[in-house]
Every structure is written in C-alpha cells, then in structure tokens.
Structure 1
Amino acid sequence: MVQIHKGGRNPKLNKALHRYVFRLTDQENARFLSLFEDSGLDTKAKFIVALLFERQIKSIKIDAGAMEYCTKLSRLFAQFRAIGVNYNQIVKILHTTFGDKKTVFYIGKLEKQTLELADLCKDILILSKQFESEYLLNKEKL
C-alpha cells in the first residue's frame, strides 16, 4: 500500500491547547510592554509563560553613547599600537642608514614627539577614568 502525503506541517507533539485572557489598564499595559521589550523574547506569549513559571529573563540595555565612546577609545589605542610599530621601524632605519650624528639628532626629535604623545595618553586616561566614574558607574546605580 502506498502512503499518500497530505502536505503541510508536521503536527506538534505537545500542543498548547489552553488559552487564558486577562485585561490590563493603560499604565499596566505600558509597563508590561516595557518589560517585554527589555526581555528580548520574540513573542508576548513566551514572555508571559517565562514570568509565570519563574524562568530567568535577562534584560539588556545598551547605551549608545557609552558604546560609541568605547569603540572610539579602542580605535585610538589601536592607533597607538601602530605608532609603536612605526617608531621601532624608524629607529631601526636611522641606525642602519645614517651616521651617528644624524641618528642622534633625529632620535632627539622623535623623542620630543614621543613625550608629547605620552602626555596626550595620560590626558586620555584621566578623561576615561572621569567618564567611567561619573557616567558609567552612576548609570549602574539607577
């Protein structure tokens, strides 16, 4: 005997047959929608079931300003690493191509620029710590 395939979805093994209805005020609904959006779940039904059966729901809030700050700071430190590589290459080239007097002269100029860069780096670290203490840590307390 040949089986005829009817098509369509395979039936679920454990169908959700029971339905419950409840009503919310405008304030309750606004709070419910806010919690639902923060949960990251894709349907309200899954969210309600998770709340009822005390499943753990994780709420993640992303601060765009802090995220942008961290991204730009990471790029800046990547540039510092690139400067360090270039610094080593320049010193090596100076030693191999120029005499002692020219090498000392150019390394002296390079040293002045390096000191300015170090001061800039200290300022960046101070500002970063200030940003972290005033902005990021205060946000966690809220």
Structure 2
Amino acid sequence: MTNLFCKGGRPPVANKCSHHVKVSFDDLEWDELTRMMEKANATVKATFIKQLIFGKPFKVLVADKSLAVYCAKLSEFFAQYRTIGVNYDLTVRTLRENFTEKKAMTHLYKLEKATIEMIGVMSQVMSLSEKFEQQWSLKSR
C-alpha cells in the first residue's frame, strides 16, 4: 500500500504559483485601486491586480434602481389593468341583465369612452416601456 492515503493537508496543485512580486502603492493609487475593486465587486486584491496586468476582462456591474422601480410599477399597473378587465366584463353582464336596452346602451357608451381613454394611456405606457428598454440596452453594452 502506498502512503498517499494517509497523507494529510491540501492536495497538490498542478500549476503552483511560486513566484511572488511585491507592489507598493501611494495613498492616491491605493484609493483608486480600492474604488476599482468596489466597482468590479472583487474581494481578493491579488486576483484583481492579476486580471488588470494580464488584460483579462472583468465586468463592472452597476445597479440601477430605476429599472427595479419601473418594473415594479409596470407590474402593478398591469395587475390593475387585469382587474379593470374583470370589472368590465361584470359591468357589461349586469347592464345586459338588469337594465332596459336604451338605458344599457347609454351606460355602454360611457364605458366605451372610458375604454378609449384607457387604450390611450396603454399606448403611452407601451411607448415609455420601449424608450426605457432602448435606454437600458444602451447602458448594458
């Protein structure tokens, strides 16, 4: 039997880093390095500096809270829109069952006006969403 099974500690690494370099920074350079690390969401300074030296790409993710707020408001708006649709169906059914044809038609005319206004608002929401999507896709590039 070999003694490899009884050996303790870490397993050996294939490409061991054995060459070390010391880098000194002044206060301004150190502040710039820490700012860059915070933007890149990096935690290990040595790995971050290696990526900078060898030109490996790293992404800086910027959290834009306006996107989250916009999506929350948009989903809230569409929930209200669905509720209006359900209420619309109930209203039309109630008008048909409980009123005369002439009275039901006058109320349906008012309902039609409100629906046309709602379609206008919906088209504005769609154009704002498209504009926001174009703006966001430019930021992500």
Provide the residue aligned with 2:11 in structure 1: 10
- What CA deviation, in whole Å up to 9, does each residue of 1:76-98 have, x standing for no partner? 23432x14642663376358745
* Higher RCO structure, 1 or 2 (CA under 8 Å, sep 6+): 1
Question: Contact (CA 8 Å) 2:92, 2:108: kept in 1 or not?
Answer: no
Root-mean-square deviation (CA, aligned residues, Å) is 3.6
Provide the residue aligned with 2:41 in structure 1: 40
The code of the aligned residue for 1:35 comes to M
Provide the residue aligned with 1:50 in structure 2: 51
The code of the aligned residue for 2:112 comes to E
Moved more, 7-16 or 112-121: 112-121
TM-score (norm 2): 0.66
Question: Cα distance, 1:28 vs. partner?
Answer: 1.1
Q: Which 5+ residue runs of structure 2 have no aligned equivalent?
A: none
Distance 1:9 1:116 in 2: 70
Give the % identical residues.
27
The code of the aligned residue for 1:69 comes to Y
Distance 1:15 1:110, change over 3 A: same
Provide the residue aligned with 2:86 in structure 1: 86
- 4+ residue segments displaced more than 6 Å: none
Distance 1:17 1:78, change over 3 A: farther
Question: Cα distance, 1:51 vs. partner?
Answer: 0.9
Instruction: Figure out how many residues of one structure are paired with residues of the other and give that number.
Output: 133
Distance 1:8 1:110, change over 3 A: farther
- What CA deviation, in whole Å up to 9, does each residue of 1:22-81 have, x standing for no partner? 11121111111111111233422221111111111111111224432333234323432x
Question: Contact (CA 8 Å) 1:50, 1:56: kept in 2 or not?
Answer: yes
Q: Which 5+ residue runs of structure 1 have no aligned equivalent?
A: none
